């Protein structure tokens, strides 16, 4: 028996003195150095009494040691649970308790708040700081630099990722070794990653994008990463000439485009820019191509499935779409009420099936049964359509659907029109309670730099383009849209903010 995920991502690099992590301070961590660090951490986890299948809850800043903790968890057969660094003690308590974590690893600054939680729940606690220091590091210093990898099966759990929890309690998506490995191998091939690639990595590693896409793809390909703690514009521009590829969220690209130093000459060594985690505006696509000659490759994935679709490496990359279903992934559009396939081009719920699809929700059999069909198709909750060429367009979330006076309204259709209006940088369309219609439409706008949107003219433009029941009853201008750490607009926050807009006086 073996450990497929460890063997394919990490073990195959044993003894290699080739670069793996290029750090911001100019130092380099080789594959061999990284594996030695991971092995020493694996000893710490094993010596703490953890057994294969136990969960390790991790809330730490990004660092080589943090990534090595992930590798060590895989090597020891533990279930890795990365947690957003913005979560409060109250939120963390739920994740630790719900997952039954046997070990908590946190930043030293969070130890005081989490120590009572860990003790009450019977979990161990170690610290790991951004500079690599902490009690975990102290123990690792005295541990051996080789560890006998624990045997695991491809169907064994490798990670938990908790959903964002915008509608009730977060759900723990159970991801197997096969889920993670199959997706990494598919993406590496689809995006043409090789050992010669240097990925500019400024994403957090508590999320699918930065950990299971960016890092795993690089490991599968045998390449290296410029491993930055976070997105910093000056550092990104400084490092860009040394990279061949970059993965980012839309905010990365808009900030780069706002800097005159970001030019085609700067990115002449780059072969690929990938965007995900939130929709990319068509304007950003256009500006980026005009500035650099590169067309950003947009893709689509989620917590429960990793990546499902991607625009092609070779071939047309369509703005406003997330491309075609990845090899090995089946994707269809269904009626949310009946579950039956809808006609090509119609809007419905996206369902996917493939080796990337998770095993189910931890300790939530009812939720699992409701969202994961017996035939293996996962009901994503995303609304979309497939065009005549097979490209998928995301229209919105099922929960974002607005039903006003009995009519279904898809926010994306209105947002695309609002985004095109003079003075508007971006928009979000939401439904709020209304006494007559049940719900009505509200448009929330962000002004373009140094511009003031003319709300009357925008309303006129909408009136001439959309059926009356789709017209926003109110247009609001805000400084910025609320987003999560990966750049997704938090419409639940906007709905809460404006829910009483049409309440009786």
Whether 440 and 367 map to the same domain: the answer is: no
Domain limits for position 213: 198-397
Whether 438 and 382 map to the same domain: the answer is: no
CATH code for the domain of 298: 3.40.50.12780
pLDDT at 410: 75
**What distance in Å separates the CA atoms of residue 362 and residue 161, rounded to the nearest whole number?**
10
Domain count, the chain: 3
Domain boundary among 94, 121, 152: 152
Whether 233 and 360 map to the same domain: the answer is: yes
| Residue 432, token pair as written in the block | 């709020």
pLDDT at 164: 60
Decide if 265 is inside a domain: yes
CATH code for the domain of 465: 3.30.300.30
State the CB neighbour count (10 A cutoff) for residue 136: 28
Whether 104 and 205 map to the same domain: the answer is: no
Decide if 355 is inside a domain: yes
* Alpha-helix residue ranges (DSSP H) falling in 145-209: 177-190, 208
Decide if 172 is inside a domain: no
pLDDT in tens, 259-301: 999 999 999 999 999 998 877 878 889 999 999 999 999 999 9
Decide if 106 is inside a domain: yes
Whether 409 and 384 map to the same domain: the answer is: no
Give the residue among 392, 343, 341, 350 at the shortest CA–CA distance from 371. 350
Give the residue among 159, 163, 134 at the shortest CA–CA distance from 381. 163
Q: Which helix (H) or strand (E) holds 143?
A: none
State the CB neighbour count (10 A cutoff) for residue 240: 20
Whether 128 and 225 map to the same domain: the answer is: no
Decide if 363 is inside a domain: yes
pLDDT at 337: 86
CATH code for the domain of 86: 3.40.50.980
pLDDT at 163: 84
Decide if 422 is inside a domain: yes
274 touches 288 (CB < 8 A): no
Domain boundary among 132, 152, 172: 152
Whether 385 and 455 map to the same domain: the answer is: no
Whether 343 and 237 map to the same domain: the answer is: yes
Which DSSP string corresponds to 66-92?
A: HHHHHHHHHHTTPEEEE--TT--HHHH
The residues of the chain scoring below 50 in pLDDT are: 165-167
Whether 344 and 435 map to the same domain: the answer is: no
Whether 45 and 97 map to the same domain: the answer is: yes
Whether 386 and 437 map to the same domain: the answer is: no
Give the residue among 135, 83, 140, 87 at the shortest CA–CA distance from 113. 87
Decide if 343 is inside a domain: yes
pLDDT at 166: 43
336 touches 163 (CB < 8 A): no
Decide if 23 is inside a domain: no
Whether 346 and 410 map to the same domain: the answer is: no
At a CB cut-off of 8 Å and minimum separation 6, what does 206 contact? 58, 59, 82, 83, 84, 85
Domain boundary among 397, 415, 439: 397
pLDDT at 70: 98
pLDDT in tens, 209-268: 999 999 999 999 999 999 999 999 999 999 999 999 999 988 899 899 999 999 999 999
pLDDT at 218: 98
């Amino acid at each position: 028996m073996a450990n497929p995920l460890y063997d394919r991502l990490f073990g195959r690099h044993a003894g290699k003195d080739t670069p793996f992590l290029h750090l911001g301070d100019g130092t380099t961590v080789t594959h061999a150095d990284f594996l030695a660090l991971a092995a020493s951490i694996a000893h710490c986890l094993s010596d703490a009494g953890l057994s294969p299948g136990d969960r390790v809850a991790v809330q730490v800043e990004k660092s080589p040691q943090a990534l090595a903790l992930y590798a060590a968890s895989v090597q020891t057969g533990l279930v890795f649970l990365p947690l957003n660094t913005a979560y409060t003690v109250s939120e963390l308590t739920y994740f630790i308790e719900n997952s039954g974590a046997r070990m908590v690893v946190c930043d030293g600054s969070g130890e005081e708040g989490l120590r009572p939680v860990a003790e009450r729940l019977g979990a161990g606690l170690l610290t790991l700081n951004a500079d690599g220091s902490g009690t975990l590091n102290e123990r690792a210093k005295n541990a051996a630099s080789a560890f006998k990898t624990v045997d695991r099966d491809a169907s064994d759990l490798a990670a938990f990722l908790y959903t964002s929890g915008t509608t009730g309690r977060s759900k723990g998506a159970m991801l197997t070794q096969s889920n993670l490995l199959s997706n990494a191998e598919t993406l590496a091939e689809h995006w043409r990653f090789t050992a010669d690639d240097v990925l500019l990595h400024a994403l957090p590693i508590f999320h699918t994008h930065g950990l299971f896409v960016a890092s795993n793809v690089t490991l599968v390909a045998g390449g290296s990463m410029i491993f930055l703690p976070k997105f910093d514009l000056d550092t990104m521009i400084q490092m860009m000439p040394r990279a061949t590829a970059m993965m980012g969220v839309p905010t990365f690209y808009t900030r780069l485009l706002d800097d005159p130093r970001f030019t085609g000459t700067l990115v002449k060594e780059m072969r690929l820019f990938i965007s995900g985690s939130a929709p990319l505006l068509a304007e950003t696509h256009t500006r980026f191509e005009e500035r650099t000659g590169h067309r950003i490759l947009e893709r689509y994935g989620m917590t429960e499935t990793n990546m499902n679709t991607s625009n092609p490496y070779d071939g047309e990359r369509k703005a406003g779409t997330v491309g075609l279903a990845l090899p090995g992934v089946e994707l269809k559009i269904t009626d949310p009420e009946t579950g039956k396939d809808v006609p090509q081009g119609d809007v419905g719920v996206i369902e996917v099936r493939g080796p990337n699809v998770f095993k189910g929700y931890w300790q939530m059999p009812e939720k699992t049964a409701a969202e994961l069909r017996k035939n293996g198709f996962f009901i994503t909750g995303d609304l979309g359509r497939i065009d005549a060429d097979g490209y998928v367009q995301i229209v919105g979330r099922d929960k974002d659907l607005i039903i006003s006076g009995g009519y279904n309204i898809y926010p994306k259709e209105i947002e695309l029109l609002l985004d095109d209006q003079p003075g508007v940088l971006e928009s979000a369309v939401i439904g709020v309670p209304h006494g007559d219609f049940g719900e009505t439409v509200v448009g929330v706008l962000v002004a373009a730099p140094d511009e003031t949107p003319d709300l009357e003219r925008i309303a006129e433009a909408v009136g001439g383009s959309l059926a009356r029941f789709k017209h926003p009853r109110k247009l609001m201008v805000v400084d910025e849209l609320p987003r999560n750490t990966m750049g997704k607009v938090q419409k639940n926050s906007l709905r809460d903010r404006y829910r009483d807009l049409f309440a009786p006086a």
